[in-house]
Structure 1
Amino acid sequence: MSLTWSLIAGFLYTEVFIVLLLVLPLFSASKWNRFFKSRFLAAFARQAQIYFYLVLGVLVIFLLEAIREMRKYSNVEEETTLNLGMQHSMRLFRAQRNFYISGFAIFLSLVIRRLIILISQQASLIANSEASMRQAQSASDTARHLLAASGGKKKTDEETKVDEVKAALEDEVKKLKDELKRETKDKEALKSQAESLNREYDRLTEEFSKLQNKMSKAGGDKSD
């Protein structure tokens, strides 16, 4: 393996190690987010997108070169000597190896970038959720203290509105229940009518069959 492809293979192994670190539950999303925003990566993060596309472009160039080598040695006709045939097979194997190395390196680069974005978003969502929970808890404590101070004797305007809305909703639920009962009764009536129609249809079918048999027998006797 040449020096260039040795470096690409080392880059691939490094990517595999980074993916394992990001995927395994070793650190929480908040810790990873603090690491991504640390001073150590602050200078690199400013130019991270440029570096990413630069590395991706280099890997794509080597991938295209490996594809060209594969097509070159795949279309070679059978040689007359065994030595030349072995050389072409070895070069084809190297081209295929280089293709897989560069292809997996490109794939893992995209995976690492996506994982970093998802981990940062998850950390932001966790922080926002914790802040919202603290605000809700603070508002609940404040409301509880205000109710305790007023002695709970008088209802506020908001509580009155809530009671009115609750009563309106209960009336609406009652109306819907009554309508559901009526629909159920209508459905049962239609079902009973359908059953009676089926029984009447079966009876008429049976009578028609008997009548048809009689007519066929009468026709047979008349022919005799």
Structure 2
Amino acid sequence: MSLVWTLIAAFLYTEIVVVLLLVLPLASPRSWNRFFKSKFLAMLAQQAHIYFFLIMGVLVLFLLEAIREMRKYSVNEHTGDVHLNVEMQHSMRLFRAQRNFYISGFSIFLVLVIRRLVTLICAQANLLAQSEASMKQAQSATAAARSLLEDKKTEKAKEADEDQTLNELNQLRERVQQLTADLNREKKDKEAVKSQAESLNREYDRLTEEYSKLQKQITIGGSNSKDD
């Protein structure tokens, strides 16, 4: 087997392993979807169609080459005088051509299978995510409906309590008005006491001034009598 066909065979074995990994329940569709959307594969996905068509083109070329060799060695052009060794070489080349045909054909087939499996796994992961979101919405809607029913049941009790609450509010309002009136009276009394204190202070200042004047007069009169 030449180097090229060895590489193609290795590529085929790799495809078989990848198909087994995708088919066997080794990981959930979400895990595969996260793996397919990883940064490294996302960088490759930008040019995935180029790689896909390139690989398919190479494999198709080798498939056509294998078909050509099969047709070439399938035609029996030998006569009875051909040596047995030549016939064995002819059969060996035909076998190689058939082997290369199967290798390239299965490689092309598995490339298509892998691409389809990846698409289906991603679609399944998206459907699972959508179904979970729908279930959460349904659960939230059910919870909302239950809360509405409970609210309707409690509305009657609330309506019965509203009258009592209104009465209590009216009583509180009356109490607030009464306290407000008392506060206003206290403010007025405080202002009156303050004005009285201010008037007393002014009267005290006036009397203090008069006392100072009288004391000065007495002091001046005493000094004059001493001089006489």
The answer, yes or no, to whether TM exceeds 0.5 is yes
SS in 2 for 1:27: coil
Residue 132 of structure 1 is matched in structure 2 by 134
Residue 143 of structure 2 is matched in structure 1 by 141
Q: Which amino acid aligns with 2:70?
A: M
Q: Sequence identity of aligned pairs in percent?
A: 69
Residue 63 of structure 1 is matched in structure 2 by 63
Matched, 1:37 2:46: no
1:83 corresponds to which of 81, 85, 99: 85
Residue 93 of structure 1 is matched in structure 2 by 95
Question: How far apart are the structure 2 equivalents of 1:4 and 1:153?
Answer: 82
Cα RMSD of the aligned pairs, angstroms, is 1.4
Question: How far apart are the structure 2 equivalents of 1:95 and 1:23?
Answer: 31
Question: How far apart are the structure 2 equivalents of 1:89 and 1:28?
Answer: 48
Q: Deviations over 1:65-108 (max 9, x none)?
A: 00000000010322411121111111101000000000000000
Q: 1:152 to 1:9 in 2, by over 3 A?
A: same
Question: How far apart are the structure 2 equivalents of 1:3 and 1:136?
Answer: 59
Q: Deviations over 1:154-181 (max 9, x none)?
A: 9xxxxxxxxxxxxxxxxxxxxxxxxxxx
The 4+ residue runs of structure 1 with deviation greater than 3 A are: none
Offset at residue 153 of structure 1 (A):
8.2
SS in 2 for 1:77: coil
Q: Deviations over 1:54-75 (max 9, x none)?
A: 1011100000000000000010
Question: How far apart are the structure 1 equivalents of 2:35 and 2:61?
Answer: 32
SS in 1 for 2:117: helix
SS in 2 for 1:134: helix
Residue 73 of structure 1 is matched in structure 2 by 73
Question: How far apart are the structure 1 equivalents of 2:139 and 2:154?
Answer: 20
Question: How far apart are the structure 2 equivalents of 1:50 and 1:20?
Answer: 25
Question: How far apart are the structure 1 equivalents of 2:149 and 2:26?
Answer: 46
Offset at residue 152 of structure 1 (A):
7.8
Question: How far apart are the structure 1 equivalents of 2:68 and 2:40?
Answer: 40
Residue 117 of structure 1 is matched in structure 2 by 119
Q: Which amino acid aligns with 2:56?
A: L
Question: How far apart are the structure 1 equivalents of 2:97 and 2:154?
Answer: 82
> Taking structure 2 as the reference length, what is the TM-score of the superposition?
0.66
Q: Deviations over 1:171-214 (max 9, x none)?
A: xxxxxxxxxxxxxxxxxxxxxxxxxxxxxxxxxxxxxxxxxxxx
Question: How far apart are the structure 1 equivalents of 2:25 and 2:102?
Answer: 28
Question: How far apart are the structure 1 equivalents of 2:77 and 2:106?
Answer: 30
> Residues 113-192 of structure 1 correspond to what in structure 2 (within 5 A)?
113-151=115-153
Residue 220 of structure 1 is matched in structure 2 by none
Q: Runs of 5+ in structure 1 lacking a partner?
A: 155-224
Offset at residue 13 of structure 1 (A):
0.2
Residue 104 of structure 1 is matched in structure 2 by 106
Question: How far apart are the structure 2 equivalents of 1:5 and 1:101?
Answer: 8
